[in-house]
Each structure stands twice: as structure tokens, then as C-alpha cells.
Structure 1
Amino acid sequence: KQNLVYLHIDMDAFKLMKELRVNYDQEVHYLPKVTGLVFIESTVRISAKCRDAKVEDLWSLTSFFGYSTQTFVLAVNLLDRFLAMMRIQPKHLSCVSLSCLHMAAKVTEEECNLTPTDELIRIGQCRFTVSDLARMEKIVTEKLNFKSKAVTALTFLHLYHEIALSKETLSLEKLEAQLKACLCRIAFSKAKPSVLALALLRQEIEALQWEDMLEVAYYIQAHLKIANVELMLWSERVAQCLSDYASPECSKPNHRRLQWIVSRRTAQNLHSYRSVPELPTIPEGCWDESESEDSCEDMMSSGEESLSSSLGSDAEGSFFPPHLRRQKQRQYLFA
């Protein structure tokens, strides 16, 4: 009987390692173009700062609607791949990011939990129509050849956690929260998902000072043939990022849905009909580095407001970006 138990464990481990290898071979097909990411970091048209702000907004929305980490990570993956491939105007960025979130939610969430499109646009405080969002989703789907899945760092994080022998000690919830914090910075979009997930796992194991678990991480690294130099590079960047988000409640992220406290005027605007000007035709060309670049401020001048400016007192989750946590100090009183 004991031999049968060991055989069962070995078979499960074999299946997990096989699945790990399959995803490792496929991850290259879901990576943003590095040249596109580098261009974003060096331009002011859609700058890294603008991109990161939109990802933080997506984080706020997924928390507000109670969406899963899988939805957030997939939405960020779609957004980065699209931005790294296509040339878009700053005024279209909100439509693109919300489209990516809606597409991701339709894949990962139960249909009964999906937020209606018009409500998604209202809560997102965006000035485009349901038809605009539908057109943008079609463009993103066609350009990325998106069907129903993507191999992301979360894919590997779940597999690594499953392979770990003592999963109860390694909090998957905490690892997911740390991954979300990293994804709020465009620099981490350059990392291979398998490497980023392993860097997060090692960071947590080292924090626990658990030598036995470190052997598991070494085994995974050897199985996937991840170079030490590459892993150490991203481990250092992960450590720096997480230190920026350090909090006494680090091991117990706050997963309460966000609650907005807004003025009466804002509430009326959110719940009343408002005319929405149709967006200009969306250019479908690829990056052209020779073109003149618009300022990031153009995005804000078009009337789009960052969600973080509307967050209420519940934006104090352990891994929320600092500027969202500082919003806790503001009070939004009814007029």
C-alpha cells in the first residue's frame, strides 16, 4: 500500500513537470515584443509612466469587481503585447486597457460574475461608448490572434506552488499579490514568465529561510535550464520592487473589494445618461520611431481621469502602489 502511495506521488510529479515543460516551450508565443517595450520606455507618446498608471487602474478595477488575479494578469499581458506591437494615440489608451480587461474577464470569470459593459465604462470613468469598446476588442483580438488563453507568470507560479512539497507554508495568495505588484512596472514585462515566477518563489523561500524548499527551486531551474545569470538578474529586481511595497501586513494582503465614496455630483454623473463623443478612427499601423511624439499629458487632457484619483479609504491593500495607499488620507464627502 505504501508503494502505491509513492507511485501515485511520483506520477503526479511527473505530470506536473511535463505540464511545466509544455508551458515553458509555449511562453515565447505570449511575450510582448521587447523592441516595442523599449520604445515605450524611451518615448513620451505612450510612456512607461502612462502604461504603469493604466495597469494600476486595471488592478483597482479587478479589485472593485472582485475579479481574480488570473483576470488581472491576463489583461496586463494583452495590454503589453498590444502596446508593444501597435502605434496608438494616448487618447485611445483607456479604451485599449479596458478592452483587455473585458476580454480577460470573459475568458477567466464565470458569466454570472461579469460586469455589464456599460457599467464597466461608467465605473472606469471613460469617455467612449459600448460600440467603441466592442470595436477595440475586435482590433486587439485580431492583432494578437487571441483565442482563449495565454501562458503568463501566474501560470508558472501556480505550477511551482503545486510542485512544492509543503504548499501550506508557501502562501499562494501572497505570491499572487507580489506578482501583481511587479506587473505594475513595465520593466517586468521584459522578463520571461517562467523566470519571473521562479524569482518570486525563490524570494519567498529565502525570506522563510527554508533550505529544503530551496532545493525544489534549484530542481525547477535545472529542469527548465534557466541560466543563473538570468535568474539572479530578475531576483534582484523582484527584491527591489517588493521592498518598495513592503508592509507589516505583507503576508496578509487585503482582498476586500474597493468601496468608492464620491460626491453627489460625481454620483449623478456616474449613474445618469451622458452623451459620449465617438472616438476618432484608430490607426492600425505598427511602431514608427521616426514619428513625432505626443506628450503623456495629452491623455489626461482628453478628459480621461485615472481611477486612482477616485479611490476611497479601502485602497490600502498590502501591495497597492504607494500613491494608491496615500489616497486613504483623502476624504470624499457628499456635497
Structure 2
Amino acid sequence: MDTGIIMRTMRTLGRAALGLVVATLIPVAPVGAVDTVTIGTVGSPSANLWPVFIGLDKGFFAAENVKPDLIYVPASAAVIQQLAAGSLDVTMSTGLVDPIRAVDQGAALALARFEVQAPPYAMTAKPNIKSLKDLKGKVISVGGAKDITRTYAERMLAPHGLKPGDYDFVYAGATTARAQALLGGAVDAALLLPPSNFQVQAAGYNDLGLTVEYAPELPFSGTAVNKAWAGRNQDVLRRVLAAQAKSIEYFYDDHNRADVVRILVAVSGQKAEDVEKSYDFFRKNNFFDRTGKISRARMNALLDALVGLGDLPARGNIERFLLPGVAQLSD
């Protein structure tokens, strides 16, 4: 073989070997590393969490290099306690009153966006109870003594001549637990979320009314964050919110109805017909906020309600509850 060819070949092999050694010695950052985000929520799978389940099923979180670690906690107040302690990074489908109370008391939490912009509960009662006024002297299951569901129930009962003391409350944080208490005869009525309300109604129980008819101006749930975590992971949070937004848009596309129903049936174990009713209920009432923002008017209405309950001393500046640089106010 020609000596020049041999020398060129040796030089080429030498450079390749050197490149291999250098590549071995220099650490290479992983491409598209996946960020795990611990997300807390209340109870068990329900229609409120539809966007999370859609995002997981359709790969919207994966496309943003995010892996949600979904943690179910029995009650809303307990979820917020864990968020404040740093055990959770984010909470979703969490009643807004608990993070608001926590922030007012000095917790380093903040709201990133609204999720369900009006309360989607139904007051469901035993077969012999036909109307809200028939709940006088009865036992009603709501989420907690300071839970927003108690406010909803009182809002529903007041126009029918019932005031606190005319009925008794018992508490269960998860809607599935309240449904079981009603079906088991432990309570006379309960505030239930879809699809549990449709399941109970199919068993012969009565729908006495919807919370959205009595408190349409009060937002229900939102995404809250631990501020320390959000400060370290603002890009991750933006990707979480982006996946959430894609999921909500997927929900609202009527062509996806069957697929959206399939997703919730798979995670909740509920009957398809009950989940179909849930989809139509949420879709008709536009419960999921599509803007990704926080309505100033709705936020003020909720703060005023909490002031009226004595939970807040005054409305004050609502921006103290929002995550700077992420949460956006709308008029």
C-alpha cells in the first residue's frame, strides 16, 4: 500500500480515537430531560381533574418534558398544608378558598390560574326529599367546616327560608366519600361533583339544584403553587400550564367527546353513561376556564364572600394572592 495512504489512514484513526476519549471524559447534559412535578389534589378522580387526565393520556405533559406525580389527599385544607410545607410542588383542582386563607395568614403560596370558573356541584338528596326547603332538620354532607362547599350549601338554602341551625352539616373532603355516606343512609343530602351526582341520581336519589344557579359569580378551583418551588422552576411551571391549556382545548373540541369520556371512565371506574352526562354538563356550562387567567371580578366576588364569613379581615389588593410573572389578571 502507498506510504502516504497509510499515514493518512493512521492520522484519521488517531483523531477518531482522541475524539472518543474526549467524549468519554466530558460529561454531556441529557437532551430533553424530564422534570417530575408533584401535583396534589383532593379525594379521587373526578370531572374536575379532566384536564390532568387528558394531558397524561394524550401526551401533552410528556411533550413538555414534564412527568406529573399525582397525589390524592383527603381534604382541600390538607392539600394546601402539604403545599405550604413543600411536600407538593403544585396543586390542581383545589378549592380556591384554602390557598387564599393560607396566603392571608402568611403562607408562601400563590395562585397561577383559575381552572373551574364556577361551582359545578349538585345538591343530591334521598328519594323522599323533593326540594331544598325539605332539608329543614336534615343532615347534609359538605367538604368541611371552612370548606367552600359549606358556603355553596348555605347560598342554596337561604332563598328557601333555611338559615344555619335549621339543618346540620357533617364533613367529608372527597365527593366520593359524601356520595357513599348518602347512599349508605348516613346523611340526608350531599353536595356532589360529577360523575358521582349522576351515579347517585341513577340509584333513585333526587337532584335538588345546582350550585352554579345560586353562586354563579364565585370561582371554584385553580392551580396553586409553592412559591419557593416556583421561583426555582418557573420554566417547568410554564410547561405544566402549557400542557394544562392544551388539555382544556382538547376537552372543548366536540369531536373529542367520546375520547374524553373514555379517559375519565378509565381512571375513575365510573359508568360510561354517567361520565357522558358529566361531559355534557361541563361542556354546556363552560366550567373549565380557557383563558389561563384570573378574572378580577370573580376573584373580588370570592374575596368579598370570605370577608362576609369572617375568614378575611378585608379584600385588600388581590395581587398579593397571585404568582408574579406567571398569573395574569383579566377584567
Verify same fold: TM over 0.5.
no
TM class by shorter chain equals under 0.3
Which structure has the greater CA radius of gyration?
2
Give the TM-score normalised by the residue count of structure 2: 0.27
Structure with greater proportional helix content: 1
Structure with greater proportional strand content: 2
